Amino acid sequence: MQQITTEILAQIKSIVGAEYVFTDEESFEKYGRDETEKLHYSPAVVVKPRTPQEIAALMQLANKHLIPVTPRGAGTGLTGGALPHLGGLVIAMERFNSILEIDERNLQVTTEPGVITEVLQNAVKEKGLFYPPDPASKGSCFIGGNISENSGGPKAVKYGVVKDYVLNLEIVLPTGEIIWTGSNVLKNATGYNLTQLIVGSEGTLGIVTKIVLRLIPHPKFDLLMLAPFDSLEKASEAVSAIFRAGITPSAMELMEIESIRLASKLCESTAITITDNLAAHLIIEVDGNDKDVLMKDMEAIADVLTNFEVGELYFADDAQQKTELWKIRRKANEASVAAGYTIEEDTVVPRAELPKLIKGVKALAAENGFKVVSYGHAGDGNLHVRINHPLYKKSYENEVIQDILFKIFELVKSLGGTISGEHGIGLIQKSFMPVMFDAISMDLMRGIKKTFDPNGILNAGKIFDQNN
């Protein structure tokens, strides 16, 4: 990879304007990080373009001079997908922050990628419409980053993840061409599905500049229940039983009691009762347009839970109580990090296998002398496992932690799961890809990357090593 010379820097400034080109230490500090294990890599230049044409010109320049390019959203990622570990050029997408059209007739929204997810959700809600994917960082993350990681969140159990709502994408290819990947239609059997190939590709195949999302009508009502358990395994067993009873909640979140304790302390909240005998809580939500039906669903769920030694159920009576409970859940990640649980794994297994996963992870923690706390989207089997090791606070390039994680991921695979549900692979998880994929599959992925990016300049070294 080539360095950015004074001449190249001048060309960059001529493309986007000198006021949107940054080479100061403060910018290098900010754009050299995301939320991954306190890792930091300084870029050579940070650029903030405003149009697809500007990005196209930047990519043509970078491709000509073999300059590594790292696309950057809000920097909320947890696997290093936005880290400029090769230096080079960071293209920050924060000026792409407009919602272009809310199409109420066709239930679609066209947006730029730098729009905050919650801002988009609120904008369409005003029209009576609903964009369900809601990652924990929805108040700060960009919709473009959600596309790159195929994000999910609590609502995924009923409504699906980002890929289920993306209809069409405008992208800039690594070679500088601008294309649309599909059409603004619900059904499309025309050729390869380039749109879905881009979703979840972590900025390695192209830079998204416009997004067309499908929407659904916003549900009128929701009910929220908090269910305490004195056994983490009983709580996880109850999850599958609820679905077997024919009920599909709009959210079903599992929080180990330690994660509740930490998040409640961070939020200065007493909304969730914490006692010594409790091991976990399930946060269960149902939504829809008929409140009577929802009440019957909650009664049916309560009946199921009695088979799993559930404690006294708590029903959130108003919007404030619901908001407080969700705040605690969404702060679990931040609170765990602050308490020393700095290593997170985003595991997914079939929901009926959650008890085995939890038991296996706890056993590994006991054998290897580290603490672990779990929380996550139990309704779709997505468990976030956070590790607090007494000696090592990072997993990246740490042999001890790598060995532990290999064991966790081998367990996940044996249960029919996978190593990432919504956080992606990025930089720190790529060494574990062979756990899930054979050599043929990995070669196919590298071939796709080579086709889109023949010179290997765009977010190189993410998902898999460039030259392996």
Does a structural domain hold residue 194? yes
Question: How much is the pLDDT for 276?
Answer: 86
Q: Is the pLDDT of residue 1 over 70?
A: no
CATH number at residue 73: 3.30.43.10
Q: Which residue, of 217, 250, 272, is where some domain finishes?
A: 217
- What integer best gives the mean pLDDT of the chain? 96
Residue ranges making up the domain that contains 196? 99-217
> Is the domain of 57 the same as that of 16?
yes
Question: What value does the mean pLDDT take over residues 220-227?
Answer: 97
> Is the domain of 87 the same as that of 104?
no
> Is the domain of 269 the same as that of 322?
yes
> Is the domain of 206 the same as that of 126?
yes
Q: Is the pLDDT of residue 3 over 90?
A: no
Does a structural domain hold residue 458? no
Band the pLDDT of 466: cuts 50, 70, 90.
confident
**HEC string of the chain?**
CCCCCHHHHHHHHHHHCHHHEECCHHHHHHHCCCCCCCCCCCCCEEECCCCHHHHHHHHHHHHHHCCCEEEECCCCCCCCCCCCCCCCEEEECCCCCCEEEEECCCCEEEECCCCEHHHHHHHHHCCCEECCCCCCCCCCCEHHHHHHHCCCCCCHHHHCCHHHCEEEEEEECCCCCEEECCCCCCCCCCCCCHHHHHCCCCCCCCEEEEEEEECEECCCEEEEEEEEECCHHHHHHHHHHHHHCCCCCCEEEEEEHHHHHHHHHHHCCCCCCCCCCCCEEEEEEEEECCHHHHHHHHHHHHHHHHHHCECCCEECCCHHHHHHHHHHHHCHHHHHHHCCCCEEEEEECCHHHHHHHHHHHHHHHHHHCCEEEEEEEHHHCEEEEEEECCCCCCCCCCHHHHHHHHHHHHHHHHCCCECECCCCCCCCCHHHHHHHCCHHHHHHHHHHHHHHCCCCCECCCCCCCCCC
Question: How much is the pLDDT for 468?
Answer: 42
Q: Which residue, of 333, 350, 385, is where some domain finishes?
A: 333
> Is the domain of 318 the same as that of 374?
no
Question: How much is the pLDDT for 239?
Answer: 96
> Is the domain of 326 the same as that of 405?
no
Does a structural domain hold residue 416? yes
Over residues 131-143, the pLDDT tens digits come to 999 999 999 999 9
Does a structural domain hold residue 253? yes
> What amino acid occupies position 283?
I
User: Are residues 121 and 134 in contact, defined by beta-carbon separation less than 8 angstroms?
Assistant: yes
Question: What value does the mean pLDDT take over residues 197-210?
Answer: 98
> Is the domain of 267 the same as that of 353?
no
Does a structural domain hold residue 468? no
Q: Is the pLDDT of residue 284 over 70?
A: yes
Q: Is the pLDDT of residue 467 over 80?
A: no
> Is the domain of 174 the same as that of 213?
yes
CATH number at residue 194: 3.30.465.10
Does a structural domain hold residue 429? no
> Is the domain of 169 the same as that of 238?
no
Does a structural domain hold residue 357? yes
In the chain, how many domains are there? 4
> Is the domain of 88 the same as that of 103?
no
pTM for the whole thing?
A: 0.95
Q: Is the pLDDT of residue 448 over 80?
A: yes
CATH number at residue 359: 3.30.70.2740
Question: How much is the pLDDT for 101?
Answer: 98
Q: Which residue, of 421, 443, 461, is where some domain finishes?
A: 421
> Is the domain of 311 the same as that of 233?
yes
> What is the share, in percent, of the chain residues with pLDDT greater than 90?
97
> Is the domain of 283 the same as that of 311?
yes
Does a structural domain hold residue 88? yes
Question: What value does the mean pLDDT take over residues 451-459?
Answer: 97
